[in-house]
Structure 1
Amino acid sequence: MENTRAVYLFQRYFDKIATEEEISELMQWVDKNQNEKRIKALMDKVWNEFQESGKIFTNEESEQILRNVLEEHLRTSGNQKSIRVKRMKIVWLRAAAAAILIILMTGGYFWYNTTKPVVKTTANVLQMKNDVAPGGNKATLTLANGKTIILDNAHSGQLANLGNSKVMKTGSGQLAYEAQNTKRGEQKVLAYNVLTTPRGGQYELLLPDGSKVWLNAASSIRFPTAFTGNNRKVEITGEAYFEIAQNATQPFIVESNGMNVTVLGTHFNVNAYSDNADMKVTLVEGRVKVASESGTGTILNPMEQAEMNKEGQVRLVEKADVNEAVAWKEGIFQFDGDNMATIMKKISRWYDVEVTYKNGVPSGHFTGIISRNTNLSEVLKMLELSGVQFQVEGKNLVVL
């Protein structure tokens, strides 16, 4: 496509007068990686011209225009997965242009927010001696007798018979515990298993009561092979998402680093990584009680979040971003005004890399979405749009 034709299509698209054929032609052109430099130059040209007009849209208008851009690409590319766009104080054209470029080239979108003035610099070049593949389904199961099973190497089918239940690996890679009937008068033996994911791993678990657990990278869950007594209690480290089977007579309890989450039947996420300042419980549906060991706590309703600090103080976050909290379960990195240190922690766990800062942690806050199934280089390319540079060698990631 000639550059004049690209400029013509680009301008008509943002003027909202492009035909279906013109939109399709533009999207196909932007999809081609070899056009990246030309697209960036075109974005700068249109942005500079628009900047001179001084037109700024409201938050609501910016949000709607951005949503339209994202949904247009999803429609023309055949991807029907919906995207929820957060309100951002941005000039609408810059957001829309960035959305077109980045969502088509990396499967996501990204913004950099800072109070400092934007200074034009020469193009950043990602320094990578090797790329790093994303994480995947990796975990180790430790049985009560100390035997370990590497699940990513195990074949589908029965892995163990524990008396109270059979341990299965399903065809889809899920670890499932199938309860077995005991003979009359026979007592169920209380035995605990531990499922552990490494950095760069995740896994799905089906508990004996039918509850489902998704375990994020560098996490673990300790659980009984059969739930007996008055409750169903498990212990976790790291992060896990739960969908609990209802049982009003046997509450489900999640314990983690002095925090207790009590539920009957609900969907929620627990983020309890030890290197985070606070532990977070985010409720998607149902009702849960979050409490510290001292007994202080709060009741969560859907779309609410509770945070507990190292001192055991529990705080209610009423307007929590539930999408961000559970995005990892859907295979997405979602950042909502996160600083670089927070983002690097997530990247370090998922790609199993060691992160160091050459000149300290860069300032600013970042908002964006990208698939967790992309190579590390794609995520870093998005971040480099903010002016931050990176160097990757082996499993070492240096923020320059």
Structure 2
Amino acid sequence: MRDEHYLIAELLQKYPDLNQEEREQFNQWLEQGNNKEFFNQILDKEILEEELRQLDELKIESEQRGSWEKLLQFRVKPQKLNTIWLNNWKMYAAAASIITILGVGGLIWYKSQRVNNQVVQVEESKAPIITDADPGQFKARLTLADGSTVVLDTATTKQLAQQGSVQVLNKDGKLVYQQGGEAGSDEVLYNTLQTTKGQTYATVLADGSRVWLNSESSIRYPVAFRGSERKVFITGEAYFEVVPSYLKDKDGKGGKQSFKVEVGNMEIEVLGTHFNINAYADEDVLRTTLLEGKIKIITGGISTMLAPGQQAQLKRGTSFLQVTDNSDVEQAVAWKNGYFQFGDDDLKTVMRQLARWYDVEVIYQGGVSSDTYGGRINRNSKASEVLTILERNRVHFKIEGKKIIVTR
């Protein structure tokens, strides 16, 4: 027998287009308890907005790796249509049940939580997906100064190599550089940390600065910073937490070492700051987002200063830099914190992120949907779980080996 809550959720979604039998069921439900008051609240825009705010703050952990949290935090925005979220919070609190309905596109999420054992169940799509793709992992490849390579993962904690006077360690899932003694020759030794599709990794540079690499990205850097400048080179996407560094000579005198990042035809000069660079070759725009501190961006001989909360956008192939205020910094660094986060992004933008993380090729058959997507999904999800959420609005997916086929 179908659960009553799920049935009412469907009736609420279809209302007022109900047949005679459905209208009788709906009227019976209205006469029970405070359901009529609840239904009137559904139609109140201000109450809906407040409930949305509460839902955004709701976080429930489950054995299904946060499925309910993912559903609450994801929305689809069709072109020229309004998306409506409905939820019954108070009336079903005693049974720990929540109904959330996304009216347009026929999307109904139903969640029932058993109070005694805290097991969370989510109604999912019945369409079978024959194959699946696992989420990315903490893996990378390190290329040492002599050209030899080391495969990195989180399972191993040990010293990997000695680069001049610097020890290279794999520790707690991060690549760490530690000064092992007096500096030797003045030769500058470079290492390269690189991730492929489906990989991510982090490193602590010799000066203590931290760098996180997203999938299909790389950073080339000296194992020890000497001179007045610290300079690294990146491709793809990286998040930096740069610490101030001072260089002292034999007499104890010196000055602050600048920190510079070179990416394509753009250079970023840093003091002490937190920022994210998205510079994938398949993205039309290079984006630099500042969270803390100050950075100076130089391109085409023109320099621009960024303040916290600002994002610089450089269209590929040009030197024109556009700066936006009050950018969505959470979206910019969501990947580093374990999420996909979209801000009214089109389908191709969304699928490029999935292709990098799940190491798949995306193939479009037929026209591409003009709908936009917004929300947050845990990156630990399998590809099928993410696609099930996306599939609720006029788009369909099929996984075949290392390919995701998109149809309408």
- The alignment's TM-score, normalised by the length of structure 2, stands at 0.76
138-147 vs 155-164, which moves further:
155-164
Backbone CA RMSD of aligned residues:
2.7
* 2:326 aligned counterpart, secondary structure: coil
Does the alignment pair 1:64 with 2:62?
no
| Offset from partner CA, 1:60-94 (integer Å, 9 cap, x none) | x65532121243x42xx469xxxxxxxxxxxxxxx
Give the deviation of 1:314 after TM superposition: 0.8
Cα distance in structure 1, aligned partners of 2:301 and 2:126: 52
Equivalences for residues 243-282 of structure 1 within 5 A: 243-247=241-245, 249-282=256-289
> Is there any run of 5+ residues in structure 2 with no aligned partner, and where?
18-38, 82-103, 109-123, 247-255
* 1:334 aligned counterpart, secondary structure: strand
Counterpart contact for 1:106–1:378, Cα < 8 Å: no
Counterpart contact for 1:158–1:166, Cα < 8 Å: yes
Cα distance in structure 1, aligned partners of 2:155 and 2:168: 12
Counterpart contact for 1:281–1:307, Cα < 8 Å: yes
Does the alignment pair 1:43 with 2:22?
no
Give the deviation of 1:245 after TM superposition: 1.0
| Offset from partner CA, 1:79-119 (integer Å, 9 cap, x none) | 9xxxxxxxxxxxxxxxxxxxxxx952756532111234556
Aligned equivalent of 2:186: 188
Aligned equivalent of 2:307: 301
| Offset from partner CA, 1:189-240 (integer Å, 9 cap, x none) | 2011100001000001000000000000000000001101111100000000
Give the deviation of 1:360 after TM superposition: 2.9
| Offset from partner CA, 1:125-163 (integer Å, 9 cap, x none) | 645221111001110000111100011287311000112
Cα distance in structure 2, aligned partners of 1:147 and 1:237: 20
CA separation of 1:316/1:169 partners in 2, compared to 1, >3 Å: closer, same or farther? same
% same residue: 39
CA separation of 1:396/1:174 partners in 2, compared to 1, >3 Å: closer, same or farther? same
**Paired residue type of 2:301:** G
CA separation of 1:174/1:167 partners in 2, compared to 1, >3 Å: closer, same or farther? same
Cα distance in structure 1, aligned partners of 2:181 and 2:127: 58
Q: How many residues align?
A: 335
* 2:304 aligned counterpart, secondary structure: strand
* 1:151 aligned counterpart, secondary structure: strand
CA separation of 1:128/1:191 partners in 2, compared to 1, >3 Å: closer, same or farther? same
Counterpart contact for 1:288–1:300, Cα < 8 Å: yes
Cα distance in structure 1, aligned partners of 2:313 and 2:3: 52
Cα distance in structure 1, aligned partners of 2:193 and 2:8: 50
Flag the structure with higher helix content: 1
CA separation of 1:205/1:45 partners in 2, compared to 1, >3 Å: closer, same or farther? same
Cα distance in structure 1, aligned partners of 2:224 and 2:16: 64
**Paired residue type of 1:236:** I
Give the deviation of 1:376 after TM superposition: 0.4
CA separation of 1:168/1:68 partners in 2, compared to 1, >3 Å: closer, same or farther? same
Give the deviation of 1:266 after TM superposition: 0.5
Aligned equivalent of 2:74: 110
CA separation of 1:260/1:126 partners in 2, compared to 1, >3 Å: closer, same or farther? farther
Which entry has the higher C-alpha Rg, 1 or 2?
A: 2
Cα distance in structure 2, aligned partners of 1:149 and 1:212: 20
**Paired residue type of 1:178:** Q
Q: Which runs of 4+ in 1 moved over 6 A?
A: 50-54, 121-124
Cα distance in structure 1, aligned partners of 2:327 and 2:70: 27
Aligned equivalent of 1:314: 321
Does the alignment pair 1:169 with 2:167?
no
- The alignment's TM-score, normalised by the length of structure 1, stands at 0.77
Equivalences for residues 72-83 of structure 1 within 5 A: 73-74=58-59, 77=60
Aligned equivalent of 1:30: none
CA separation of 1:143/1:57 partners in 2, compared to 1, >3 Å: closer, same or farther? same
> Is there any run of 5+ residues in structure 1 with no aligned partner, and where?
7-37, 80-101
| Offset from partner CA, 1:234-269 (integer Å, 9 cap, x none) | 000000000001136111101101111111110000
Give the deviation of 1:121 after TM superposition: 10
CA separation of 1:146/1:301 partners in 2, compared to 1, >3 Å: closer, same or farther? same
Give the deviation of 1:174 after TM superposition: 0.7
Aligned equivalent of 2:198: 200
Cα distance in structure 2, aligned partners of 1:108 and 1:237: 34
* 2:133 aligned counterpart, secondary structure: coil
Give the deviation of 1:49 after TM superposition: 3.9
Equivalences for residues 1-400 of structure 1 within 5 A: 3-4=3-4, 6=5, 38=6, 41-49=7-15, 55=43, 57=45, 62-71=48-57, 73-74=58-59, 77=60, 104=68, 106=70, 109-117=73-81, 118=104, 126=127, 128-152=129-153, 155-170=156-171, 172-182=172-182, 186-247=184-245, 249-292=256-299, 294-310=300-316, 311-400=318-407
Counterpart contact for 1:199–1:218, Cα < 8 Å: yes
* 1:46 aligned counterpart, secondary structure: helix
